[in-house]
Each structure stands twice: as C-alpha cells, then as structure tokens.
Amino acid sequence: MGLPQQQQAEQGQSTMEAQPHTSNPKDASQLPPEALDLATKLFDFARQGKTAELLQYISAGIPVNLTNHKGDTLLMLASYYGNLDTVNMLIEKGADVNVLNERGQSPIAGAVFKGYDDIVKAMVEKGADVYAGQPNAVDSARMFKREECLRMFGVEEGA
C-alpha cells in the first residue's frame, strides 16, 4: 500500500500549475498519486534530455513552466543537466527563461555554473535576465571565470 498523498508530497514530489502561466500552483499534496508519478517522470525527462518524450506531454497540455517542490522548472533542470535540445524545445514551447526557483536561482545562472555556454547563449538570445537571481548569471560568470559568458552578456571583467 502506498504512502498517503500528503507524505508523498513531503518527500519531494512536484507542484503542477492549474493552467500554464498562472500564479496559483496547485499544492502537490492535493494531487493523486498517479499525477505525482507523472510529474516525477517529466522532471526526469528534462534531466535526462529526453526531448521527444517530454515534447509529447507538453503538446498534450502539460504546462511548460511546471515546477517541482523546489520551484525548479523543466527548463531549469534541462539547462542544469546540459540538455540543449530539451532547452531549445522548452523555450520554443514558451518556457519562461527567467523563473527563479525557491532558492532564488535562475536557469541561466545554473548553465553558467555548469559551463554550458551553448545553453547560456540560447537563453540570452531568448531574453534571459542575466541579473536575475542570487547569485545572478553575471556574478556566476565572474566567480567561475567564464569569460565567454561575460562577453555574451556584454559585461567587461571588472565592470
């Protein structure tokens, strides 16, 4: 027999938005176990770069800005794990490149931290705010000496 829904939610399941781009996400504890399982699968697709599989769900109506219990979007996870094709698909489908997670981190700062310049470039081209979050992408680039990122941001070292 499975755990009660509240316990499942407390163990790190996800928050699904009622509609794409709404500001009132449903609490994971209100979701049935099947929905929690699906959300976990979708976040795994983003981490693993399973673009085609994730696209099927997005096309069927899963919110492109779906967040997990930490506030990480599908885009945050795809970018942090270096999955450029998945990042591009999510952006093309309308993912917000500037959503911060609960720790105040942005997808672009995560990509800078991990050294994924191609993902950083894709997000910059789609209007990612390089000053959003803490640490922001500019601070991360300086901290980790990512000179190419600083050039992409139009920021000179020491400025």
- Number of domains making up the chain: 1
pLDDT in tens, 28-39: 556 788 888 999
Question: What is the pTM assigned to this prediction?
Answer: 0.79
**49 part of a folded domain:** yes
**10 part of a folded domain:** no
113 conformational bin, left if phi > 0, alpha if psi -120 to 50, beta if neither: alpha
What pLDDT score was predicted for residue 32?
86
**47 part of a folded domain:** yes
Contacts of 17 by beta carbon, 8 Å cutoff, 6+ apart? 24, 25, 26, 63, 65, 66, 67
Q: Taking residues 83-89, what's their average pLDDT?
A: 98
**16 part of a folded domain:** no
Between CA 53 and CA 56 the distance in angstroms is 5
Between CA 25 and CA 126 the distance in angstroms is 25
**20 part of a folded domain:** no
**21 part of a folded domain:** no
**Contact status, residue 66 vs residue 42, Cβ threshold 8 Å:** yes
**4 part of a folded domain:** no
Q: Which domain holds residue 131?
A: 27-153
What pLDDT score was predicted for residue 28?
53
CATH number where 92 lies: 1.25.40.20
**12 part of a folded domain:** no
